[in-house]
Structure 1
Amino acid sequence: MRAVLVVNPKATTTTERGRDVLVRALGSEVDLAVEYTRRRGHAAEIATRAAADRVDVVVTLGGDGTVNEVVNGLLAGGRTADEAPALAVVPGGSTNVFARALGLPRDWAEGTGVILEALRDKRYRRIGLGTADGRFFTFCAGLGLDAAVIRRVERARVKGSTATPALYLKSLFAQFLVGSDRSHPMVTLERAGESQKTNLAMAIVQNTAPWTYIGGRAVNPNPKASFDSGLDVMGLHALTTPATVRTAGQLLFGGEGPHGKQVVTLHDLGEFTLKSERPQPFQLDGDYVGERESVKFVAIPGALKVLT
């Protein structure tokens, strides 16, 4: 069996010694090539080459951004799950939502053990993915406030800050208080044959649950979201302080997800479009990817094989 290990050398929870241990462990099971990413987009290029070379498995050591790039590389050119290499994920980022949603351990060493067992047993699972204007995402997308928060976090990291829960909360409060036009909701959700959902201040799209984690606590706008169904959406009509505080409390402490007059939730959608009156911050799998006025979403069932 041939495999490629894609390593993000800036992964926050691993060391050079740990990476060496991983390489030796994987190399004992498969014919392994190791590639280190050097820039944004490089992981996608590596994965595209690996798929063209017909390797059996591509393993990522990095965060959710590295996983997203590799997935898009594996499935580039319209490859199906049967045509593309399988994906294995060793958690190495600060949050690792995708790996944890698959049920993998948070610790990279324990995660490596699971992957080695899956390789020996040839244990695969097919999962559905979402696309946003043709780009795949594994667990979430967002238009509006959450993407603006991620943009703030990424700018802080460029200046040397570490991506901690405290940084995300600080960025959320700053964006909410001074960075958002909360009085004029501008987002509309459109889907064929259904009435529009208008005057949304923000929208969160999930391909699985949870949406993210704060430390060890799962945050679940759409608790029913699953790799085995379509896409789920939560939108907010208003970002007033009382409504937002109430929704935040439901997100953190409510098992059934947010509810109330300001909340719109939709489950198991196959295709829809989010439109805005002016460009809004947009994120995919926790990475800020610019501003958008319109994004078309499509659920792709059984799009990818993963080792679990």
Structure 2
Amino acid sequence: MRALLVVNPAATATSARTRDVLIHALASDLKLDVAATEYRGHARDLGRQAAESGETELVVALGGDGTVNEVVNGLLHHGPDPDALPRLAVVPGGSTNVFARALGLPNHAVEATGALLDALHSGSERTVGLGLAAGTPGTVDESVPARWFTFTAGFGFDAGVVGRVEQHRERGRRSTHALYVRQVMRQFLGDPRRTRGTIALHRPGHTPVEDLVLSIVCNTAPWTYLGNRPVYAAPRASFDTALDVLGLSSLSTPAVARYGTQLLTSSPERGPRGKHAVSLHDLTEFTLQSQVRLPFQMDGDHLGLRSSVTFTGVRRALRVIV
């Protein structure tokens, strides 16, 4: 089998020696080409070239969720076609690795490589659904190109947290869970709109859900991890369905205490709930629109400010080795 290994040399949790070991292990079973990313968006370009070549059967992403997101967007540049596109495999190398862990893969690069080789030998794979986000026609954001996401997107508060974390990473700080927690608190203290939201959720045939402060779109559960603790914003979200949404209409101090506790104690059976919480399951198409421009993120990548984003849940978008 001809495969392309896309390596992010800046991945948080792997060293050059570890990467060399992984490359040697994969090359023993595959006709392996290796490409290291050199700039933002390079993994996307490599994924697109692999899809267009017609020769590559498998693309392996070695890196964090950002690297995986870029590879997926490259593979699906011309749209989803699970039977024709190369299959995707993931070797986690980032700080959180939500997508890989949601697939049931070990959160250790060497163990995940062994699991990948076992899956290839046994022919174990699955087809997963993905989310697609694009600028809404007729709005100032209509020219924003569509982009796929694997596990989550956020509009508003949580995207602001992601933006703060990225600012620290650009200054050389390492991405850690403690850094995220600190930025959550700073975003909470510095957000003037946390008690009265500006976001409305529109979906065909339904009354809009208005005045949301926070909107989290989930393609799977868990939503994220704090260390080894899974956090479920939308427990029913699944790679086999369309998209789920958690919206909060208040982030007052009592509301944050309530919903923060619920997130930390969430489980596959129970997520955030209460009078300020809105949970929607298996949505195929909807739009999040804000009266003011707000931060937007996908798979942990801050994408700037948006006023309106239209989402599509696409079932059976890509084949993944598991």
Fold equivalence (TM over 0.5): yes
The whole-number CA distance in structure 2 between the counterparts of 1:218 and 1:180 is 29
TM-score w.r.t. the length of structure 2 is 0.94
Shift in Å, 1:158: 1.0
- Residues matched between the structures, number: 308
Partner residue, 1:31: 31
SS of structure 2 residue aligned to 1:234: strand
1:175 to 187, 198, 207: 187
SS of structure 2 residue aligned to 1:282: strand
Distance change >3 Å, CA 179–CA 113, structure 1 → 2: same
TM-score w.r.t. the length of structure 1 is 0.98
Q: Which amino acid aligns with 2:72?
A: V
| 1:259 and 2:260 correspond | no
Q: Which amino acid aligns with 2:79?
A: G
The whole-number CA distance in structure 1 between the counterparts of 2:191 and 2:20 is 43
The whole-number CA distance in structure 2 between the counterparts of 1:283 and 1:275 is 15
The whole-number CA distance in structure 1 between the counterparts of 2:236 and 2:79 is 28
Shift in Å, 1:81: 1.1
The whole-number CA distance in structure 2 between the counterparts of 1:89 and 1:46 is 15
The whole-number CA distance in structure 1 between the counterparts of 2:114 and 2:296 is 35
Partner residue, 1:7: 7
The whole-number CA distance in structure 2 between the counterparts of 1:254 and 1:285 is 20
Q: Which amino acid aligns with 1:24?
A: H
Deviations for 1:106-134, whole angstroms, at most 9, x for unmatched residues? Answer: 11100000111112222211010010113
1:289 to 300, 303, 314: 303
SS of structure 2 residue aligned to 1:172: helix
1:1-308, aligned counterparts within 5 Å? Answer: 1-54=1-54, 55-133=56-134, 134-255=146-267, 256-308=270-322
Shift in Å, 1:179: 3.6
Deviations for 1:21-62, whole angstroms, at most 9, x for unmatched residues? Answer: 111111111110000001110000001001111200000100
Question: Retained in 1: the 8 A contact 2:196–2:249?
Answer: no
The whole-number CA distance in structure 1 between the counterparts of 2:291 and 2:119 is 47
Shift in Å, 1:79: 4.2
The whole-number CA distance in structure 2 between the counterparts of 1:34 and 1:82 is 24
SS of structure 2 residue aligned to 1:109: helix
The whole-number CA distance in structure 2 between the counterparts of 1:182 and 1:107 is 37
Q: Which runs of 5+ in 1 are unaligned?
A: none
Q: Which amino acid aligns with 1:263?
A: A
Q: Which amino acid aligns with 2:42?
A: H
Q: Which moved more, 1:38-47 or 1:173-182?
A: 173-182
The whole-number CA distance in structure 2 between the counterparts of 1:79 and 1:304 is 7
Shift in Å, 1:16: 0.7
SS of structure 1 residue aligned to 2:78: helix
Q: Which contiguous aligned blocks of 4+ residues in structure 1 show a shift greater than 4 angstroms?
A: none
Question: Retained in 2: the 8 A contact 1:142–1:284?
Answer: yes
Percent sequence identity is 53
The whole-number CA distance in structure 1 between the counterparts of 2:191 and 2:208 is 27
Q: Which amino acid aligns with 1:165?
A: H
Question: Retained in 2: the 8 A contact 1:235–1:265?
Answer: yes
The whole-number CA distance in structure 2 between the counterparts of 1:249 and 1:302 is 34
SS of structure 2 residue aligned to 1:76: coil
Shift in Å, 1:180: 4.2
Shift in Å, 1:161: 1.1
The whole-number CA distance in structure 2 between the counterparts of 1:154 and 1:180 is 21
Question: Retained in 2: the 8 A contact 1:283–1:289?
Answer: yes
The whole-number CA distance in structure 2 between the counterparts of 1:104 and 1:28 is 21
Deviations for 1:271-305, whole angstroms, at most 9, x for unmatched residues? Answer: 10000001110000111111110000001000000
Question: Retained in 2: the 8 A contact 1:145–1:180?
Answer: no
The whole-number CA distance in structure 1 between the counterparts of 2:178 and 2:191 is 18
